[in-house]
Structure 1
Amino acid sequence: MRVLVVDDDLLLARSLATILGAEPDIDVVGVGASRQEAVAGFRERRPDIVLMDIQMPGSNGLDAAEQILAVDPDARVVFLTTFTDDDYIARALRMGARGYLIKQDVVQIAPALRSVMTGMSVLEGKVLERTAAMGLAADTATPEDTRPPVFDALTEREYEVVQAVSDGLDNAETAGRLHLSEGTVRNHISAILAKLGLRNRTQIAVLYYRGSQRP
């Protein structure tokens, strides 16, 4: 997938671009720091997803999203922000945003974007609670909700290890991606094998890709 990252903190935007660009299925096609750069970047590069902050100088991400959706009503806009304000959430969902994530755990961003590419809308847990309180109906899921049912017995972190293993990462690479020690990764893999009744890493990857091929 091709992703445009926009955040008024350019250092943060570049850091997110580096993290996402390390994913084998994500190509970061541009980085911006303002509404104007978001709209121009979308027009020029036509990314699959615009990952954008709400608050930006001179305007905000909501205004940028409206302009982008005016250009292409099918554009996929995902907000990544620290704000859970009801007005922001309601406006974002009503305009057709595909996701509203809170800046907390960056390892959840890539799985969320993959869910958006499958046609889902993705809301972080606190935002989902607010939409329920506001009575806003949406076909949404949190990133952890998108896992195949066969992995229900795993913790969120164990499932992230499954995804890393399925991407072909070894223990050191998995540790780097998830900011863990190699020993912790080994312990997680042992727990995964025991919970799922599997024998090795290859079986983990096979089960992951079979489970992901849902109708």
Structure 2
Amino acid sequence: MNIIIVDDDQFVSLSLKTILESSGEINVLGIGNNGKEAVALYETYRPEVLLMDIRMDEMTGLEAAEIILKRHSEAKILFLTTFLDDEYIVQSLLLGAKGYILKQDFESLLPSLKAVAKGQNVFGNEIITRLPDFLASVNHSQYDYSAKGITDKELEIIELVAKGRSNREIAGQLYLSEGTVRNYLSAILEKLELRDRTQLAVFYLTEQ
């Protein structure tokens, strides 16, 4: 798997390169120190995964991700940071990053890279446990979903997606087939101009 590593601490970048390449499954195409270099390296190498820190000089990882994903919606970005910050988590999800894990959770890094390369979303246990707090802390009555053409049934599905329910669970709760749920989700994503169910969940939790 070809990746790029971007971190403002060069020692961290070089250490990650050495450790990951020793697995025999990772090839590090390049290393950068800030968001500007991340954008340039992505344009040059088009890696399968961009592994990137968030807080960096000149341009943050979030700013770099926004630029890259606007140009290349297929880009797979995995944030690796020391900061368990609600705002960073939400911003990364809304941008369309594929994952957010903490540096101290190092043993999960290689499996996370593999999962992201396959198109899966990966978030560390610390991040997942915070999502219910997002759900409990917002008032969902303020956003006018009808202005986007969202029906009552679609809103029910959005709420269940935000609670982490699978298509099968949603189908069972709403007495629908899984195929019908998938069709509803496709329509919802198109109306709200979102990429996937992860962005949909975060949209529901934040766009209030």
Shift of 1:108: 1.5
Structure 2 unpaired stretches of 5+: 136-160, 165-208
Shift of 1:138: 8.8
Shift of 1:90: 0.4
Distance 1:24 1:95, change over 3 A: same
Question: Deviations along 1:69-106, whole A, 9 cap, x unmatched?
Answer: 11200100000001111111001001100000001132
Provide the C-alpha distance between the structure 1 equivalents of 2:67 and 2:106, rounded to a whole number of angstroms: 27
Spell out the pairing of 1:192-207 with structure 2 (5 A cutoff): none
Provide the C-alpha distance between the structure 2 equivalents of 1:112 and 1:58, rounded to a whole number of angstroms: 27
The answer (yes or no) to whether the contact 1:65–1:77 under 8 Å persists in 2 is yes
Shift of 1:26: 1.1
Percentage of pairs with the same residue: 41
Tell me, yes or no, if structure 1 residue 97 matches structure 2 residue 97: yes
Q: Counterpart of 1:7?
A: 7
Q: Counterpart of 1:119?
A: 119
Q: Counterpart of 1:137?
A: 162
Q: Counterpart of 1:34?
A: 34
Distance 1:29 1:126, change over 3 A: same
Shift of 1:59: 2.6
Q: Counterpart of 1:106?
A: 106
Root mean square deviation of aligned Cα: 1.6
Q: Counterpart of 2:22?
A: 22
Structure 1 unpaired stretches of 5+: 140-215
Q: Counterpart of 2:150?
A: none
Q: Counterpart of 1:209?
A: none
SS at match of 2:50: strand
Runs of 4+ in 1 over 6 A off after TM superposition: none
Residue type of the partner of 1:44?
T
Shift of 1:22: 1.3
SS at match of 1:59: coil
SS at match of 2:90: helix
The answer (yes or no) to whether the contact 1:90–1:131 under 8 Å persists in 2 is no
Q: Counterpart of 1:68?
A: 68
Q: Counterpart of 1:194?
A: none
Count the aligned residue pairs: 139
SS at match of 1:100: strand
The answer (yes or no) to whether the contact 1:99–1:121 under 8 Å persists in 2 is yes
